[in-house]
């Protein structure tokens, strides 16, 4: 059961039912729009919002040679990026001009603890990111279904005061290929 966007107002989508297809929102590509919403989701991870962690820094640019390049008050830090994308033609309704796309979003996160006890901090943030991604109604509004967590890869706490890990999510959406994804 898929719905067509009936109205776009600011960044809100008004659709017929629950599943939403974005046909036109702004001049942004669908891919970039999804990444920008992922950034908003990560920025919302705070104890005040019901999570175990307060994410201190989010950026779509990960250009660190060493984690100590960020101030200690910028941890935990999350760096989302749009990775691989699988595409196939999809007919929706009477139109044959649509594409089904499964975009992989990678979120590289770094946590810090002065004493090097990063296991609990890392585990809490892994859980918080998954919860935020899967339950976000803002992100869900852009997708066919909720994001699917597919992978967690950690450094196993081997970097002393810092610990880095990667989480992957698959996000499925449809778009009009005449407009590009």
pTM: 0.80
Encode pLDDT of 36-53 as tens digits.
999 999 999 999 999 999
Mean pLDDT for 65-92 is 88
Encode pLDDT of 93-149 as tens digits.
555 558 889 999 999 999 999 998 899 999 999 999 999 999 999 999 999 899 999
The yes-or-no verdict on residue 180 having pLDDT over 80 is no
3-state secondary structure the chain: CCEEEEEEECCEEEECCCCEECCCCCCCCHHHHHHHHHHHHHHCCCHHHCCCCCCCEECCCCCCCCHHHCCHHHCCEEEEEEEEEEEEEEEECCEEEEEEEEEEEEEEEEEECCCCCCHHHHHHHHHHHHHHHHHCHHHHCCCCCCCEEEEEEECCCCECCEEEEEEEEEEEEEEECCCCC
Mean pLDDT for 147-160 is 87
pLDDT reported for residue 33: 93
3-state secondary structure 65-112: CCHHHCCHHHCCEEEEEEEEEEEEEEEECCEEEEEEEEEEEEEEEEEE
Average pLDDT, the chain: 83
pLDDT reported for residue 146: 94
Q: Which residues are CB-contacts of 120 (< 8 A; sequence separation ≥ 6)?
A: none
CB 75 within 8 A of CB 54: no
pLDDT reported for residue 160: 81
Domains and CATH numbers, the chain: 3-176 (3.30.70.1700)
């Amino acid at each position: 059961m898929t719905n067509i966007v009936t109205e776009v107002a600011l960044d809100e989508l008004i659709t017929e039912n629950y599943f939403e297809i974005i046909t036109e929102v702004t001049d942004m590509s669908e891919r970039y729009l999804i990444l920008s919403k992922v950034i908003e989701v990560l920025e919302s991870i705070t104890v005040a919002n019901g999570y175990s962690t307060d994410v201190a820094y989010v950026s779509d640019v990960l250009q660190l040679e060493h984690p100590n390049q960020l101030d200690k008050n910028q941890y935990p830090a999350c760096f989302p990026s749009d990775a691989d994308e699988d595409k196939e033609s999809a007919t929706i309704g009477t139109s044959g001009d649509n594409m089904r796309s499964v975009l992989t979003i990678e979120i590289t996160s770094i946590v810090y603890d002065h004493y090097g006890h990063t296991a609990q901090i890392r585990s809490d943030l892994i859980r918080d990111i998954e919860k935020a991604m899967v339950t976000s109604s803002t992100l869900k509004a852009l997708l066919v279904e909720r994001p699917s967590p597919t992978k967690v890869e950690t450094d196993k706490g081997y970097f002393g005061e810092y610990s880095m890990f990667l989480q992957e999510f698959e996000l499925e959406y449809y778009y009009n290929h005449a407009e590009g994804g």
